[in-house]
Amino acid sequence: MGFILKILVYASLFTGVLWAYQIPWLPCKFIDETVFYNDQGHVETKHIHREAMLQFGHKEDAPVNPNAVTFLITSSKLDVRKFVEGAETEQLSCEVQRYSTEGIHMRWPVRGEHEYNRWFTCRITDPKNQLTVLGFIRQSTAEPPTGEHDYRNWTAIEDRATLPTTVVMVMKSQTPKIKASLGSTQKLDCHFAVDHKAPNVVVEWHKRGERTSLFNHSAHTGVSQGSGVSTKKLSSGDASYSIPLSKMSSEGTYMCSVTVLPLHWSLEISLQIEAAPRVSLNTGPSLSLTEGDEKKVVCEADNYYPLDVDIQWTQQDAADVGRRVGAPLPKVLDNVLYSSHKPNPDRTLSLSAFFYLKAKLSDSGRQFTCTVSHQSLRVPIKKRFTLTVQEPSNLMAIALSLAVIALVIGVLLLLRSVLNGRRRHQW
């Protein structure tokens, strides 16, 4: 089967882009489950990982992989493959699970089918293209519900079983994870589709950890509450939510919920705020000191978010500055001290890294570099300065000598005065 799948991929590369609707099957993991009471009388769930296939075709088709549980997706108004259009099969990941209606029984409005249903979900993801697609899979059956929650007594599925099914509802997001800068406008993508007209759809947006919803719309009543979603686009299945200006309080996990009874699901969209640091030194591009002087040199990263930031000081000898070939790597300073992360009023952070530089003539021409790395930066920010060390001037040496001589003379005069005073007192 793997060999055939590779042929399919290579053929698609030869013709151009592999469109998703050409995929005849998709290998999946079927995460089956059994629910039971443990020794303490508590309900436990055991998950069983089984090999499965999503196979697209007709009811009379033979399974592509006879050793797997085959979910044979027959023709319907919804083709889940179109929702992953443009993705390469090698990037797609598929997972099938049972779905519980929590005791709710409603006949799905499809003609010529059995009245009762068994439900599954298939989640197809493409990490490379940031894509999540969720499909509700329906298996029609003549067996009525048992009157209790279906997860208490799932219908057994044998190995190598083939289940004729249809996809009746699909949800999709191309922004499961978003990194946004402060003050930017963001759109959280959420689309859905149902296999019959005029369904009683309820769309809701809320943020995890908050009780109030951001947006709510019922197709049955036509009433909407909140903002951020275009009600005109809801009729075409576009439930995307817009955040006008990203603030620190905007960060979190957003839930796009779509309900068509007895089906309900929420797609999670994670929004992370990022703020790039502003880097500065307390010195200019060049620093001149006199031999023996000491200077506190500070590199500060300001207004960054989130917390993780790295500041490193390095030095490079004058002979190696500017050399592109054969120059040794800059030496990392080991006498650097760090402040704590200081919070700013806008909830961004600041951090400084400093060291004490004692001027030596041998260090003249040496270049010092502060490198700041942060997840919001594609490349680290670097700030540099070149040190120039001067010898004490002759005038300074003469002035110092005169000061020493004056001090000595002053001490001698003071001693002389004290001695004269004692002699007078003796007389």
Is 211 contained in some domain? yes
Lowest mean pLDDT among 91-100, 146-155, 280-289: 146-155
180 and 208: one domain? yes
Residues 111 and 61 in one domain: yes
What is residue 287's predicted lDDT score, i.e. its pLDDT?
94
Q: How confident is the model over 238-243, as a mean pLDDT?
A: 95
Provide the pLDDT for residue 16.
35
Tell how far CA 137 is from the center of its chain.
30
Q: What was the pLDDT predicted at 9?
A: 38
Q: What is the pLDDT of residues 46-65, one digit of tens each?
A: 899 999 999 999 888 999 99
Query: Would the pLDDT of 289 be above 50?
Result: yes
**Domain match, 138 and 164 both:** yes
Does 121 lie in the same domain as 227?
yes
Give yes or no: residues 302 and 258 share one domain.
no
At 367, list the tokens: 């270049």
Q: State how far the Cα of 275 lies from the Cα of 343, in Å rounded to an integer.
A: 13
Residue 311 scores a pLDDT above 90:
yes
Average pLDDT on 134-162 reads 83
- Domain match, 172 and 291 both: no
Mean pLDDT of the chain: 86
Residue 10 pLDDT exceeds 70: no
Place of tokens 């009762």: 116
Q: Name the region of 394 (left: φ>0; alpha: ψ -120 to 50; beta: rest).
A: alpha
Q: How many CB atoms lie within 10 A of CB 365?
A: 14
Question: What global pTM score does this model have?
Answer: 0.76
Q: What pLDDT score was predicted for residue 18?
A: 39
Q: Is residue 155 part of a domain?
A: yes
Q: Nearest to residue 81, comparing CAs of 49, 98, 63, 57?
A: 57
Mean pLDDT of 164-182: 92
Confidence of residue 2 (pLDDT cuts 50, 70, 90): very low
CA distance 265 to 215: 16
Task: Say what the pLDDT of residue 404 is.
Answer: 77
**Domain CATH for 352:** 2.60.40.10
Task: Report the pLDDT value the prediction gives residue 15, as an integer from 0 to 100.
Answer: 36
| Predicted pLDDT at 3 | 41
N residues, the chain? 427
> Could you say which of 225, 250, 273 is where a domain stops?
273
How many alpha carbons lie under 13 Å from residue 384 in its C-beta half-sphere?
Answer: 14
pLDDT at 419: 67
Question: Mean pLDDT over residues 114-140, rounded?
Answer: 90
User: To the nearest whole percent, how much of the chain has pLDDT over 90?
Assistant: 55
- Asked if the structure places residue 400 within a domain, the reply is no
In a domain, 398, yes or no: no
Residue 424 CA to residue 427 CA, distance in Å, equals: 5
On whether both 287 and 257 belong to a single domain, the answer is no
pLDDT in tens, 263-272: 999 999 999 9
Whether 231 is covered by a domain: the verdict is yes
Clarify whether residues 245 and 130 are in a common domain: yes
Domain final residue, candidates 219, 251, 273:
273
Residue 397 CA to its chain's centroid (Å): 62
Q: Tell whether 318 and 240 lie within a shared domain.
A: no
Same domain membership, residue 10 and residue 146: yes
Full residue range of the structural domain in which residue 348 is found? 278-390
- The last residue of one of the domains, among 273, 291, 314, is 273
The answer as to whether 141 is a domain residue is yes
What pLDDT digit, counting tens, does each position of 385-410 carry?
999 999 886 556 566 677 778 787 87
Among 65-69, 322-326, 372-376, which stretch is predicted with the lowest mean pLDDT?
322-326
Give the pLDDT confidence of 191-208 residue by residue, as tens digits: 999 998 878 999 999 999
Counting the structural domains of the chain, the total is: 2
Instruction: Look at residue 56 and tell me if it is in a domain.
Output: yes
The answer to whether residues 36 and 81 belong to one domain is yes
Look at residue 420 and tell me if it is in a domain.
no
User: Which has more confidence, 417 or 58?
Assistant: 58
Interacting residues of 227 by C-beta distance below 8 A, sequence separation 6+:
214, 215
Q: Does one domain contain both 251 and 375?
A: no
Q: For residue 20, what pLDDT is reported?
A: 46
| For residue 98, pLDDT beyond 70 | yes
Q: What is the average pLDDT across 177-195?
A: 91
Average pLDDT for 177-197: 91
Rounded CA gap, 183 and 247, in Å?
Answer: 6
